[in-house]
Chains A and B, each alone.
Chain A
Amino acid sequence: MKHNLEKYTISFGLSLAITSLFSALLVVLKELCDHSVLVWMSKATGHHWMTHGIIDVVVFFVLGWFLGTLNGGRGVDISAEKLIKTLVGSVVVSGLIIVGFYMVDMLAG
């Protein structure tokens, strides 16, 4: 084992990194994509933002649990340093994707 972190710290940390990027890409997808995704998400719960939130929370928990079951139940084996870099990098990139998208969208009118 390369790390000395708890199994679920790693699996949910990685899940957070993946879900964060997924959420940012879902923003771009639903706003572009000829609005068909946005319409579906709006119809699913009554508001696209509610659907977005529910999808993200479900993906986070399911993925976190799943990553914890890998390697015969021992979970993913990565160092704490790599986990921190992945997590922080993902959150920063996701934030920039969202801000950048709405900035471009606003400037384009």
Chain B
Amino acid sequence: MIKFADVALMTHATFGMLCIIASVWVFVDTLNVSQGNLVRIKLMSRAVTGCMWLAFLIGGYWYVTYYYADKALILKGPWPFAHHLVMETKEHLVIMLLLLTTFLPIAASGDLVANKSARNVVLWVVGLIILTGILMEGSGAIIGMGVKLAVLPK
């Protein structure tokens, strides 16, 4: 039977991935901005924010409620750095990512067709979101591997 904690964790990772996909969409659309896709850029920017907030809140709930058990396993296993370095870094970098995604719809609210400066701000912000998002997904994989290696028979 699938536990609620596992569903929460998978949902967290899924919204994180959706956030990255939506960010790539915003990046490509902004590079090719026109009156035809301006509304879509603004809508997708909000989708980035929505997905990130959902990923953050679900992941945060899982972290404060269930992570202690995984942490204990990781620390006894062969990859203690999965907690000491990777999780500790991830839990704080993700707050920065949350703020970047919250800022994105504000940056995308201007006239991106006529205003090159506004376009550049959006491209840089969404670029940071994509890179940090991929870093977060990779960190999650390392943490998961830390647990897996800890429970594998030696």
Interface residue ranges, A against B (CB under 8 Å): 3-6, 8-9, 12-13, 16, 19-20, 23-24, 27, 46-47, 49-50, 52-53, 56-57, 60, 79-81, 83-84, 87-88, 91, 94-95, 98-99, 102-103, 105-106
Contact = CB atoms under 8 A, between A and B. Distances in A.
A106 B85 contact: yes
Contacts of A3: 117
B34 interface: no
Instruction: Rank and list the top 10 A-B pairs by shortest CB-CB distance, nearest first.
Output: A80-B117, A106-B84, A47-B64, A102-B88, A6-B110, A12-B106, A84-B124, A16-B103, A98-B92, A106-B85
Nearest to B123: A84
A102 B85 contact: yes
B109 A102 contact: no
A4 B115 contact: yes
A87 B63 CA distance: 28
Nearest to A31: B88
Interface residues on B, range: 20 to 34
A43 to B, nearest CB: 14
B43 interface: no
B84 A53 contact: no
Contacts of B125: 13, 87
B102 interface: yes
Contacts of A4: 115, 117-118
Contacts of B124: 84, 87-88
A102 B89 contact: yes
Contacts of A87: 121, 124-125
A9 B99 contact: no
A23 B128 contact: no
B102 A60 contact: yes
B50 interface: no
